[in-house]
Structure 1
Amino acid sequence: MFRPLESSECHDDFRYSICRSRNPPRVLLGNRFLNRKKMNEIRLPSRPTKSLRIVVADDEAYIRCYFSRMLPRLGHRVVGSASDGRELVELCGAERPDLVITDIRMPIMSGIEAADQIAKSQSVPVVILSSHDEPVTNNPNIIEFLRKPFELQELARVIARSIT
Structure 2
Amino acid sequence: MPDTTTLDQPAATGERADLLESLAHHRTMLRVTARGLTDEQAGLRTTASELCIGGIIKHVTSVERVWAAFIQDGLAALGDVTDLTDEDWAQRAAEFRMLPGETLAGVLDAYEQVAIRTDEVVRSLPGLDVSHPLPEAPWFEPGGRWSARRTLLHVIGETAQHAGHADIIRESLDGALSMG
TM (norm. structure 1) is 0.31
Bigger relative contact order, structure 1 or 2 (CA pairs below 8 A, ≥6 apart)? 2
Structure with higher helix content: 2
Q: What TM-score results when the alignment is normalised by the length of structure 2?
A: 0.29
Larger Rg: 2
